[in-house]
Amino acid sequence: MGPVTAGVLQLLALIGALALVHLPAGAYMARVYSSPRHLRVEKWLYRGIGADPDAQMTWPAYLRAVLAFSAVGVLLLYLLQRLQGVLPGSLGFSSVDPAQSFNTAVSFVTNTNWQSYYGEQTMGHVVQTAGLAVQNFVSAAVGMAVAVALVRGFARSRTGELGNFWADLVRGTLRILVPVAALAAVVLVACGAIQNFSGIHEVGQFMGGSQQWNGGAVASQEAIKELGTNGGGYFNANSAHPFENPTPFSNLLEIFLILVIPFSLTRTFGLMVGNVRQGYAILSTMATIWVGFVALMMWTEFAHHGPALQAAGAAMEGKEVRFGVGGSSLFAVSTTLTSTGAVDSFHSSFTGLGGGIAMLGMMLGEIAPGGTGSGLYGMLIMAVIAVFIAGLMVGRTPEYLGKKIGGREMKLAACYLLVTPTLVLVCTAASMALPTPPHSMLNSGAHGFSEILYAFTSAANNNGSAFAGLNADTDWFNTMTGLAMLLGRFLPMVFVLALAGSLARQQPVPVTAGTLRTEKPLFAGLLVGAILIITGLTYFPALALGPLAEGLA
């Protein structure tokens, strides 16, 4: 079997698995967020935090709860790292320095999981499990809660109430993320991933000498790292490490975990708004972009130029031979079109155009299918903008799901759209202009520029993957990427929840002969075009200086 055929078969197997679970998973999540019943363990948690899960929240109250919970998470994770030297299970590692502690705390709370450190040489068992792994669960649940709040904004009328954040957070964690992650961890252990709390071992090497390896609760963290579209690896090599991702089957399983919740949430959306065809329209838009990017990535990595690449049969530099170009391309597209950031290959070693495809996936806003929750609410914002564009074309007040899209709604959608490009471009320009940051680049020219552009694209879009050619463990990059992650996560949530509150207060508009049918293929095509054109106009000059210049050289 040739490598191209193997890659295509992996793609088809993945599509089949996602299609198989789409209906039951989407329906189950709709029931989770709509059920009036609370589990006993949930009631205990509500009493412990003093929350009334049945109290309805307006959008400012919902936002305050999101921000307060996340702020506490940043503080606790920061303190865990600063106190690591005196904690049990530290493996002899000292406390993490302040700048890196700040960056890491912000990174995991914002669902970014950007890592400017070597995991196996920096973090002990307590920080990894009680700190990083816990945030993998709750940061993903926060994104899902905000997405559900926006869906309720479309589904409800003549009320400003969006549900209860604490109930959404607890249910998303306990009823969705924990059971699926537990099952996935067992499968990963069966595949060969490690799961222990052992100390540091001296391991001999084939060519003589030795190196040190420490164990850890790797399989359990790997499962939620992918399922929650987090991405932070237990080891520096991330999902290219055999302890995290041992076999081609585990590689395909991890890609499935990355995509299953974001794609299935479209079914949840359709059920909660009372029109499953609307969910299918969003799903088809996401799937079209994802399949298109996978095809382009495989083409750039297989159909290459140069005698060395042709002799190897593919662009194998930076690829793990266990997975090959097909598996690596599939993983790279899935991780950058979601907010995962995990890698099973090094994106800096992809062809120039291949690296640009991975970067463009993040620049789209990671909405195809996007992160757990963040992909759905990002796509719904783009749907609002597409409806507005269609309204301008026909001279009719735009409507979406029975709600009028007026001036207030469009301002909120536009503000959402402008946050991350502003952060990416301003931070990249500042880094290139200052004398110190370029010293962190291992490459010069267009590729060096791509390293910095990729870093801030990853941070501001809460992705977390790196181009693997940039030394980001400096005060400048730790601070600036930390700020980009904070603003890139929570400023968009402000606009999403404000939009949800505005929509929930409206009275539904009856469907007429002039109403744009947003469940039809025509609208899905319009939505795909709007996403690509808006992103292209925003980022094209920067892409032309980096990956396009390198790829065409």
Q: Cβ distance 416 to 460 under 8 Å? A: no
DSSP one-letter code for 129: I
HSE-up of residue 282 (Cα within 13 Å, Cβ side): 31
Q: Cβ distance 129 to 221 under 8 Å? A: yes
- The pLDDT score that the predictor gives to residue 121 is 83
Q: Cβ distance 370 to 378 under 8 Å? A: yes
- Give Cα 169 distance to the centre of its chain: 18
Q: Which residues pair with 345 in a beta bridge?
A: 319
> Could you give phi then psi for residue 107, rounded to 5 degrees?
-60, -45
Query: Is the torsion defined by CA of 370, 138, 460, 118 positive or negative?
Result: negative
Q: Where are the domains of the chain?
A: 377-552
> Could you give phi then psi for residue 410, rounded to 5 degrees?
-70, -35
> Could you give phi then psi for residue 210, rounded to 5 degrees?
-155, 170
In terms of DSSP H, where are the helices of 35-93?
40-49, 59-82
Number of Cβ atoms within 10 Å of the Cβ of 538: 18
Q: What does each of the 553 residues of the chain score in pLDDT, given as a tens digit?
A: 677 888 899 999 999 999 999 999 999 999 999 999 999 999 999 999 999 999 999 999 999 999 999 999 999 999 999 999 888 888 888 999 998 899 999 999 999 998 888 888 889 899 999 999 999 999 999 999 999 999 999 999 999 899 999 999 999 999 999 999 999 999 999 999 999 988 777 777 767 777 777 888 999 999 999 999 999 888 888 999 999 999 999 999 999 999 999 999 999 999 999 999 999 999 999 999 999 999 999 988 887 666 655 555 566 777 788 888 889 999 999 999 999 989 998 887 888 788 889 989 999 988 999 999 999 999 999 999 999 999 888 777 889 999 999 999 999 999 999 999 999 999 999 988 887 666 677 667 788 888 889 889 999 999 988 877 777 778 888 889 999 999 999 999 999 999 999 999 999 888 877 788 999 999 999 999 999 998 888 998 888 888 888 777 6
Q: Which residues pair with 212 in a beta bridge?
A: 202
Q: How far apart are CA 255 and CA 359, in angstroms?
A: 18
- The pLDDT score that the predictor gives to residue 536 is 80
- Amino acid in position 61: A
- The pLDDT score that the predictor gives to residue 465 is 86
The strand pair at 210-214 and 200-204 is best described as antiparallel
Cα-trace Rg, the chain: 23
Q: How many helices (H) and strands (E) does the chain have?
A: 21, 4
Please state whether the peptide bond connecting residue 369 to the residue before it is cis, i.e. omega within 30 degrees of 0.
yes
- The pLDDT score that the predictor gives to residue 501 is 96
- The pLDDT score that the predictor gives to residue 491 is 96
Q: Cβ distance 251 to 245 under 8 Å? A: yes
Give the start-end residues of each E strand in 426-546.
none
The residues near 42 (Cβ < 8 Å, ≥ 6 apart) are 53, 167, 170, 171, 174
User: What is the DSSP track for 493-525?
Assistant: HHHHHHHHHHHHTSPPPPP-TTS--TTSHHHHH
